Amino acid sequence: MSKKVILSGVQSTGNLTLGNYLGAIKNWKKMQEDYECHYMIANLHTLTIRNDPEKLRSNTLNLLALYIAAGIDPEKSNIFIQSQVASHAELAWVLNCFTYMGELSRMTQFKDKSTKHADNINSGLFTYPVLMAADILLYQADLVPVGEDQKQHLEITRDIAERFNGIYGKTFKIPEAYIGENAARVMGLQDPTSKMSKSSVIPNDSIFLNDEPDEIMKKFKKSVTDSENIVRFDVKEKPGISNLISIYSAITRKK
Ligand code: TRP
């Protein structure tokens, strides 16, 4: 039996965080043993915000290096840069014609980003999910490992594929989201109620994969906990300490 196909990717904006690693890339390594894996560097997706060309180029290569450092083996998996495979943008155009304005305007990421970048609400931001659908459908992927925040993008991908298949006959495989069993949702160290983000403006909130070890320790030591003198897992009452416990558990694999 042929192996199931996996496709996933990360945007090449700046530095990756510990959240990107524990929530996604760490699991990619394991999957390459059992699946046919395609791991992409989503550099076209980054164009929805303004970039410095030199920086974008170096971020793209930096991400490639990080994939390899995280154990993704180019002999086992297909690693590629999205912009170098022209079919992604080509299929995105076709799929645009099968996607409704209404469904795109309901995407939470679009709503969030257009509030954040109110001075640059471009059409790319709006059709971002269609390019992502093209990424996935092009490879006839069975499974797409994504974090919780990308689940909605996978749902719209399925809707677009089903719509196209309904009109023209079975063309695209309908992909499923693959939410890894221990894909930890890592929160900020200073604001443990929001996801650890590469673009956090709060100092010491995010651990970056190329932070120096002593810097990482410093950030952990400064992390926000609470005033109760006890270590216990309770996301609601003790989000800070619970986040540290999840990170510890994800790294040491202790439950
Ligand atoms: N939108 C994803 C993110 O921000 C990145 C991405 C682009 C992706 N294309 C994809 C993820 C295809 C999975 C499959 O994290």
Q: Is 154 in the pocket of ligand 1 (CB under 6 A)?
A: no
- Supply the pLDDT for residue 86: 98
The b-or-e profile of 179-202 (16+ CB within 10 A means b, else e) is bbeebbbbbbbbbbeebbbeebee
| pLDDT band of 67, cuts 50, 70, 90 | very high
Q: Which of 4, 29, 76, 198 is catalytic?
A: 198
Question: 146 pLDDT exceeds 90?
Answer: no
Looking at residue 149, its pLDDT comes to 82
Instruction: For ligand 1, say whether the CB of 42 is within 6 Å of any of its atoms.
Output: yes
Confidence of residue 254 (pLDDT cuts 50, 70, 90): confident
Ligand 1 test: best mutation among 153, 156, 178, 185, most atoms within 8 Å of CB? Answer: 153
Tell how far the Cα of 128 is from the centroid of ligand 1, in angstroms: 9
Confidence (pTM): 0.88
Q: Which sign, positive or negative, has the C-alpha torsion 88, 64, 217, 145?
A: positive
Contacts of 152 (CB under 8 A, 6+ apart): 107, 108, 109, 129
pLDDT at 52 over 90: yes
Where does the pLDDT of residue 116 fall: very low under 50, low under 70, confident under 90, or very high at 90 and above? Answer: confident
Q: Residue 23 pLDDT > 90, yes or no?
A: no
Give the tens place of pLDDT for each residue, 174-206. 999 997 665 668 999 999 999 898 878 899 999
- Centre of ligand 1 to C-alpha 11, Å, is 7
Q: How confident is the model at residue 9 (pLDDT cuts 50, 70, 90)?
A: very high
pLDDT value at position 183? 62
Which candidate in 195, 218, 221, 236 is catalytic?
195
Residue 22 CA to residue 25 CA, distance in Å, equals: 7
Cα–ligand 1 centroid distance for 196 (angstroms): 17
Q: pLDDT exceeding 90 applies to what percent of the chain? A: 80
Question: Quick one: which atom of ligand 1 is closest to the CA of 42?
Answer: 7
Known catalytic residue: 221? no
Burial class (CB in 10 A: 0-12, 13-18, 19+), 114: middle
Look at residue 1 and tell me whether its pLDDT is greater than 80.
no
